[in-house]
Structures are given as C-alpha cells and as structure tokens.
Chains A and B, each alone.
Chain A
Amino acid sequence: MKHSARNPYDGWTPDLQVQALKRCTYAVFIATFGTGSLLLSTWFELSVALDIMLFFCMIVSFTVAGIVYASTGMMSSSEPYGLVRFSDEYCREIIFKGYRAVAWWLTALLLMGFILGDILVSSMGFEAMSISKTAGIYILLTALIWAGSVSRALSDNADEDTTEEARD
C-alpha cells in the first residue's frame, strides 16, 4: 500500500484507523468544551470566581484533549506530523458522513437565523451578535456535529460478530 513506503513500520492498520477516529472524536469533544469555556469567559463579563473556573476548565480540557489525541495512534500513519490520511473505506465513509451532517445542520441553522434572527433580537431583548461571536459559535457547532456524527456511527454495536460464539 502507498503508506508502507513512507512508514516502514506500517502500523497504520485499518482497525487502528477505526480506533484512532473514535479517539479523535473524544479529543474533539473535549477540545470543544475547552474552546466553549474560553469563548464564554471572553464574551461575557463574569464574576472573577467564574472566570477562574472557566480558565481552569479550558486548561484542563486542552491538556486532556492533547493527551487523548496523542493516544489515538495517528503517529503510526504515513503523515504523523501532517494531515492524517485514512485508507480504510468505512472510516472514509463516516468522515464524509460527518461533513455531510455538518453541511445540513449548519445550513438549517443559517436558515433559522435568517428567518427568526431579527424576531429574536427585537422580542427577547438580545443584543445583535458580532461576526466574530457568530463565527465562534459556528466553529463550536461544526466540531460538535462532526464529532457527534462520527462517534454515533462508530459506537453502533448492533453488528458485533457472533461467529466466535457460534463456533464454541
């Protein structure tokens, strides 16, 4: 296979890719939590205690996310320091499904924002949101939707093999 030429250990096996993708979604969830904490403390004027707590959450989240990412096994891939490529077909399929889910959900949210945005701002007394805040929320939602879609596809255990039991 193509990656064997670059990685002599050839440890980037299809099953490792599935495991790496699963752990990658965990890292994304944790990092999203950290980013959410950072955005909350930046955007709103909170009490000092709450600010410290959010800062602590952010540091812990980014540290844990880094550790989880390091344990994914992606260092075995052909591009350990670059963009990791998945050769397993099922992994590629669910990564694309994740992108598709992101496209659908963000389009639906944009549509809702377009229709209800002005009504919400005027009736509920919200302040008009800046472009940077809107972009921040979209980044968080993109990460959450992608990771949610991928982890949902990976955690479906309805197809577990029963051949071993059947043999016994």
Chain B
Amino acid sequence: MEEAYNRIAIERKLRGLSQQELADAIRVSRKTISTIETRRFTPSVVVALKLAYYFEMPVETLFTLTKE
C-alpha cells in the first residue's frame, strides 16, 4: 500500500509553532498532529485541506506520495 509523506513538521517548525498551537488553530487534537507528522495516521481530506489553508500552500505540496 502506498503511503503519503508530509511536510507538516517542517512547515510548523519554520513558523515556530508547537504541535498544540497548530492543533488549536485547525481545531484538532495535538495527538492528531503528532501522529500525522510521524506518518502513523493519514488524515482525511478535510483535515488535509485545513492544514493546507492554514499553511497557505497547495495540499499536494504539503502531502506527497514520494519522499523528498
């Protein structure tokens, strides 16, 4: 099964945010953010879009099928 890679940890750290701050901003739990970052949980389209809107970047930049 193909896995999705993501840049959430990188983008979050670039903006100096903690996992809790990001979680509060998009109204999910900190656990959701931490498990997405460690790729133990693949989020739904809704959460992926919320993250993309928050970081102001296309969702396909934030989530990819190939490791950068």
Chain A contributes a number of interface residues (CB within 8 A of B) equal to: 19
Given contacts A89-B43, A163-B18, A163-B19, contact A18 B38 (CB under 8 A): no
Distance, CA A163 to CA B33, complexed state (A): 13
* Per-residue contact bits, chain B 1-37, to A (CB 8 Å; 1 contact, 0 not): 0000000000011001111100100011111101101
Residues of A within 8 A of B29 (CB): 14-15, 17-18, 88, 90-91
Given contacts A88-B29, A91-B29, contact A159 B40 (CB under 8 A): yes
- Cβ-based interface call for A93 (8 A): yes
- Cβ-based interface call for A49 (8 A): no
- Cβ-based interface call for B59 (8 A): no
Q: Judging by beta carbons under 8 Å apart, are B44 and A159 in contact?
A: no
In the complex formed, the residue of B with least CB distance to A22 is B31
Distance, CA A166 to CA B13, complexed state (A): 9
Chain A nearest CB from B1 CB (Å) reads: 16
Interface size class of B (residues with CB under 8 A): 20 to 34
Q: Judging by beta carbons under 8 Å apart, are B18 and A90 in contact?
A: no
Given contacts A90-B41, A93-B41, A163-B13, contact A18 B31 (CB under 8 A): yes
- Cβ-based interface call for A167 (8 A): yes
In the complex formed, the residue of A with least CB distance to B44 is A89
- Cβ-based interface call for A45 (8 A): no
Residues of B within 8 A of A18 (CB): 29-31
Q: Judging by beta carbons under 8 Å apart, are B19 and A14 in contact?
A: no
Of A17, A93, A159, A166, chain B has the most CB atoms within 10 Å of the CB of: A159
Can you add 16 more A-B contacts, CB < 8 Å, to A89-B32, A164-B18? A14-B27, A14-B32, A15-B23, A15-B29, A89-B43, A90-B28, A90-B35, A91-B29, A159-B31, A159-B38, A159-B40, A160-B34, A161-B19, A163-B13, A166-B13, A167-B16
